[in-house]
Amino acid sequence: MGIIVQKFGGTSVASTEHIKNVARRVKMEVDKGNQVVVVVSAMSGSTDQLIKWVQQVSEVNSPQTQAECDVVVSSGEQVTSGLLALALNALGVPARSMQGWQARINTDMVYGKARIESIDTENLLKHLDQGDVVVVPGFQGITIDGRVTTLGRGGSDTSAVALAAALHADRCDIYTDVDGVYTTDPRIVPKARKLQKVGYEEMLEMASLGAKVLQTRSVEMAMKYGVRVQVLSSFSDEPGTLLVNEEEIVERRLITGIAYSRNDAQITLVGVENQPGVAADIFGPLSEAEINVDMIVQNISENGTRTDLTFTLSKSDLGRAVQLLEKAKDSLKYNSLISNEKVAKVSVIGVGMRSHAGLAQKMFKVLAEKGINILVISTSEIKISVLVDEEYLELGLRALHTAYDLDAQEEE
Ligand code: ADP
Ligand code: ASP
Ligand code: MG
């Protein structure tokens, strides 16, 4: 007998019929003699709806409004946790829900994107030991002064992995609408191949570069605490993908996967003075406003006195960043500002990059052959990212997938 954490995402609990199906899966785990904690997302689409309602009522962005926003947005998970406990009871499985505050999922006070700091498992373990399945709504936490928080989009994955770590669970099974982690998003590249195993480090890069199958923080946490995470489908019985340490992967490829993101935007400041301290003057105010800048490139003009500075940031921060930079135009002394939201970031990921040269060159060549212009490039030890016109995203992804030899074979 062990403790198993099962997490079901939005599409897996999209209707009451789906929830009954989930209850049957949970019962199978209980029937094997395991103690089970289930983490559920809100029904798919319901978090988006809740966010819309909040926006219709209030446009102010203060700590108070953010806290109330979390009260509303966290409620989608409350509904599914109660419904699943009811569906389990209807199958004769003793079960109870425990909301984030009841399960003592303690977070910091960054509403909308709170970080889990600790979990007091005493209460939860008490109910498990009494023979109940405990259903915990994902995405929810509580601050030290008792206010509800949410963990950022996709945060139920992190709730599940955090609970698995705190309970020293034997496994954390993440059930979703695809049957594992693929070499790239199988919804865009039909030839994507399922990975039997993926290293924590590579998964971390894939998630943070856009592969939304797992929230980035959930992977960070799994890596830190060595949680055995498995990604699998709630709609089939196919074996899923296991997150493992790099050494456990026998069949190594140079490139493991390709991620993409449509969440980035690009800003170019044209004609910035080319002198010491300019970059600090530009990026200082952005970082004070908690706007993260990702890729940066600087072109020196012909006479060397002026330069163009291009950088990327999250689309959701674009409006604020443009406002800030326009306000500071006189002191920053640039000629003009160009912003572009119609961009996408494509990233190739693989630990093989540490030891093999030429992998970046291949990316540039493949994109050039397809006539795709690269707007910005950034690299790190195990990934290369490029920014391209969003129109060419799918074409680029497919071409790169084939070029790096990632396509599934016909018989697979
Ligand atoms: P859930 O609601 O279960 O949390 P998500 O929609 O958050 O599910 O994540 C699953 C989706 O992630 C898939 O439907 C797929 O389109 C997308 N995805 C992106 N990259 C990958 C990848 N490399 N492997 C598998 N799925 C991926
Ligand atoms: N319901 C939340 C979201 O849609 C959390 C989650 O599903 O993981 O982002
Ligand atoms: Mg998700």
List pLDDT tens digits, range 291-326. Answer: 999 999 888 766 778 889 999 999 999 999 999 999
Please compute the mean of the pLDDT values over residues 348-357 and round it to a whole number.
Answer: 92
Q: Locate tokens 């199978």: which residue?
A: 28
Residue whose CB lies within 8 A of the most ligand 2 atoms, among 46, 69, 153, 175, for a mutation test: 153
Integer Cα distance of 47 and 229 in angstroms:
25
Q: Which residues line ligand 1 (CB under 6 A)?
A: 9-12, 41, 154, 176-178, 181-182, 184-187, 211-213, 257
- Look at the block and give the residue holding tokens 């930079």: 325
Find the Cα–Cα–Cα–Cα dihedral 349, 352, 357, 362, rounded to 10°: -40
What phi and psi, each to the nearest 5 degrees, are found at residue 131? 95, 10
- Hey, whose CA ends up nearest to atom 6 of ligand 2? 154
Q: Does the pLDDT value for residue 411 go beyond 60?
A: no
Q: What is the pLDDT of residue 194?
A: 97
In sequence order, the β-bridge partners of residue 298 are: 309
Pocket test for ligand 1, best of 18, 44, 212 (most atoms within 8 A of CB): 212
DSSP state letters, 374-407? P-EEEEETTEEEEEEEGGGHHHHHHHHHHHTT-P
Distance CA 266, CA 175 (A): 35
198 touches 241 (CB < 8 A): yes
DSSP 254: S
> Would you place residue 359 in the very low, low, confident or very high pLDDT band (cuts 50, 70, 90)?
very high
How would you class 182 by CB atoms within 10 Å of its CB: exposed for 0-12, middle for 13-18, buried for 19 or more?
buried
pLDDT of residue 146: 97
pTM: 0.94
CB 311 within 8 A of CB 345: no
Lowest mean pLDDT among 26-40, 275-289, 334-348, 354-368: 275-289
Residue with the bigger pLDDT between 345 and 251: it is 345
Closest residue to atom 11 of ligand 1, CA basis:
213
**Ligand 2 probe mutation, 38, 40, 41, 70, most atoms within 8 A of CB:** 41
- Contact of 184 with 257, CB cutoff 8 Å: yes
Distance CA 8, CA 42 (A): 9
The residue whose CA has the least distance to atom 5 of ligand 2 is 154
3-state secondary structure of 331: helix
Tell me which of 88 and 332 has the higher pLDDT.
Answer: 88
The letter for the amino acid at 116 is: I
Residue bearing the CA closest to ligand 1, atom 15: 185
Q: Residue 92 corresponds to which tokens in the numbers above? A: 């004769």
Q: Which residues line ligand 2 (CB under 6 A)?
A: 9-10, 41-42, 47, 76, 138-139, 153-157
Whether the predicted pLDDT of 412 surpasses 60: no
What is the average pLDDT across 187-204?
96
Q: How much is the pLDDT for 410?
A: 63
Beta strand segments in 229-280, E: 229-233, 241-244, 257-261, 264-273
